[in-house]
A and B are shown apart, each in its own frame.
Chain A
């Protein structure tokens, strides 16, 4: 029996590369697919391809489209991986990367930053992504500490504390929005999410963080499988449950915080892509975690492409596309599966 992952992961990676090239080639100026592929290949170390493209094309691809495509890619990776982690950890099919306060914290952080009359730029980061990143992590820490009962952090209290803190943060945010005047539109756009803000300098920091977070989580794929047995039984097969919960919570929140700092609150990817991957590939986290990440990257790259193209030159919020295209596909998968989907 050939291992499923040896077929699935290379296949998904291949499709993903095609998707990236496609997304880079389409736009207001269409650069032919093969030209984009050659241009990208020429950038790889040790590859010598003489340019057959104009400098203008190169600038469009490398400076405008590719940062955006790359942002979609890593945000998709991070949100889907975080979704897999939170669903497995919290044993809840409605869990997504935002469920324990990250979104509320990030949104409030971003709102405050958008309203402050400050112009700070630090390694290509403006204040907004920084504040979103920090806000997300602070919110999770607060939730985690509120949810502790003695030496344990029960999943139920974690979910409820997450809900309570998120509600409070949302209330503060509504209040700020009411006072914000002309800033209101920017706040709303940020909360809808978008990838137009992708910049190389920022991605150079966020991408390693996301890849590291994914790699680290992968070490615990086997433990996530065992957690499906319930916390008590997971302990009996050798998982230090509370310690592992904390680690995975931190990793999932870091991935989420990194993603929202780039894109704002892109919804749907982190909730539904893990389910889609599980429906197609089964629940083994050793395959599910990397496969869902690749699928999330692909999905967000293509969604962002549609968001740019459909009403060009105007842009749709990418969250509109992820939900409008993703939800029917997800429903189709749910209906098609012959067995009851055993979450």
Chain B
């Protein structure tokens, strides 16, 4: 495989926190414009893999490359101009306003001394409009609802003007309308701006609806990857999640849709 074919690539990455590998020889490549869902049971290593791909954790062996450069050799500032991360939860200190928070996404671009310039303000305004949170600009982040918060954090990540957006369970604590809203937004960003997206997902049906490709992780290893049809198969789900399901077709979009089959009562 040629150098630079992937925008973000993990090569045979191992990782362990103390003992016992949490991530075992994972190789994974994202091409520009990919939109990929990372699925797997709790503790399968999804979040850890995300932290490796974002350079927050250094691999024990193997390497993570961003446009051909080893992440370990890059400064946080350089990485932050190319990769933005939306965490599962954000414990925000102090009552910063939404505007101020989105502006923090400009940190890797802003010069130290002068703070925000005109271009920074333009970018912040543009991404807030894009995400649909202009009306929240002066509200304190801490007073927002879960769905609003999630959109603010996505806006902050977009203000970094990244090539790659990594998200950890972007829909996990949200009501169904907000789940759809956030995923529609990701898909729009992917389709319209060519943003490369990788998100860990808990809800397999949502993952099938919104992602072109899925990667199934089990006990730190990739056990299946490909289109939702290829990955979401009854045998895979039974083996990895130990749950009986029947795979049907989504009534309007035709993507796989799982129906849970509870054990006989």
Tell me the A residues contacting B by CB distance below 8 Å.
Answer: 88, 91, 218-223, 225-230, 232-233, 235-241, 278, 282-284, 286, 339, 341-343
Does B56 contact A232, Cβ atoms closer than 8 Å? Answer: yes
Q: Which of A237, A238, A342 meets B94, CB within 8 Å?
A: A342
Does A229 contact B108, Cβ atoms closer than 8 Å? Answer: no
A239 CA / B80 CA spacing, docked (Å): 9
Does B143 contact A339, Cβ atoms closer than 8 Å? Answer: yes
Residues of B within 8 Å of A226, CB to CB, are 104, 107
Does A222 contact B115, Cβ atoms closer than 8 Å? Answer: yes
Q: Which single residue of chain B is at the shortest CB-CB distance from A3? A: B115
Q: What 1/0 mask marks residues of chain B from 74 to 94 whose CB sits below 8 Å from any chain A CB? A: 011101110111010011111
Q: What 1/0 mask marks residues of chain B from 105 to 126 whose CB sits below 8 Å from any chain A CB? A: 1011010110100000000000
Does A240 contact B107, Cβ atoms closer than 8 Å? Answer: no
- B190 adjacent to chain A (CB < 8 Å): no
- B160 adjacent to chain A (CB < 8 Å): yes
The interface on chain B, measured as residues whose beta carbon lies within 8 A of the other chain's beta carbons, has a size of 36
Chosen A-B contacts, 7 in total, with CB atoms closer than 8 Å, are A229-B101, A235-B56, A237-B107, A239-B107, A278-B94, A283-B93, A342-B142
A221 CA / B104 CA spacing, docked (Å): 11
Does B108 contact A237, Cβ atoms closer than 8 Å? Answer: yes
Does A236 contact B85, Cβ atoms closer than 8 Å? Answer: yes
Does A240 contact B93, Cβ atoms closer than 8 Å? Answer: no
A313 CA / B77 CA spacing, docked (Å): 58
Q: Which of B75, B80, B91, B96 meets A236, CB within 8 Å?
A: B80
Q: What 1/0 mask marks residues of chain B from 140 to 176 whose CB sits below 8 Å from any chain A CB? A: 1011000000000000110010000000000000000
Q: Which of B107, B140, B160 meets A339, CB within 8 Å?
A: B140
Given A235-B56, A236-B56, A238-B80: A230 touches B110 (CB 8 Å cut-off) = no
Given A226-B104, A238-B77, A238-B81: A233 touches B115 (CB 8 Å cut-off) = no
Residues of B within 8 Å of A232, CB to CB, are 56, 87
Does A240 contact B112, Cβ atoms closer than 8 Å? Answer: no
Residues of B within 8 Å of A237, CB to CB, are 80, 84, 104-105, 107-108, 156, 160
A284 CA / B94 CA spacing, docked (Å): 9
- B100 adjacent to chain A (CB < 8 Å): yes
A88 CA / B92 CA spacing, docked (Å): 12
Does B96 contact A228, Cβ atoms closer than 8 Å? Answer: yes
Q: Which single residue of chain A is at the shortest CB-CB distance from B141? A: A342
User: 14 extra interchain contacts, Cβ-Cβ under 8 A, other than A238-B77, A342-B94?
Assistant: A218-B113, A228-B94, A229-B90, A229-B93, A232-B87, A237-B105, A237-B107, A237-B108, A238-B79, A238-B80, A240-B77, A283-B95, A339-B95, A343-B93
- B54 adjacent to chain A (CB < 8 Å): yes
Q: How near does chain B come to A289, taking the closest CB pair, in angstroms?
A: 12
Q: Which single residue of chain A is at the shortest CB-CB distance from B159? A: A237
Does B76 contact A235, Cβ atoms closer than 8 Å? Answer: yes
Q: How near does chain B come to A150, taking the closest CB pair, in angstroms?
A: 11
Residues of A within 8 Å of B110, CB to CB, are 222
Does B113 contact A239, Cβ atoms closer than 8 Å? Answer: no
Given A235-B76, A240-B77: A229 touches B56 (CB 8 Å cut-off) = no
Q: How near does chain A come to B160, taking the closest CB pair, in angstroms?
A: 7
Residues of B within 8 Å of A235, CB to CB, are 56, 76
A284 CA / B99 CA spacing, docked (Å): 11
Residues of A within 8 Å of B113, CB to CB, are 218-219
Does B90 contact A233, Cβ atoms closer than 8 Å? Answer: yes
Residues of A within 8 Å of B160, CB to CB, are 237-238
A286 CA / B115 CA spacing, docked (Å): 8
Lowest 6 CB-CB distances: which A-B pairs, in order? Answer: A238-B108, A238-B80, A342-B95, A283-B94, A228-B93, A238-B77
Q: How near does chain A come to B156, taking the closest CB pair, in angstroms?
A: 8
Residues of B within 8 Å of A341, CB to CB, are 95
Does A222 contact B112, Cβ atoms closer than 8 Å? Answer: yes
Given A233-B90, A238-B107, A283-B94: A219 touches B112 (CB 8 Å cut-off) = yes
Residues of B within 8 Å of A222, CB to CB, are 107, 110, 112, 115
Residues of A within 8 Å of B85, CB to CB, are 233, 236
Does A236 contact B94, Cβ atoms closer than 8 Å? Answer: no
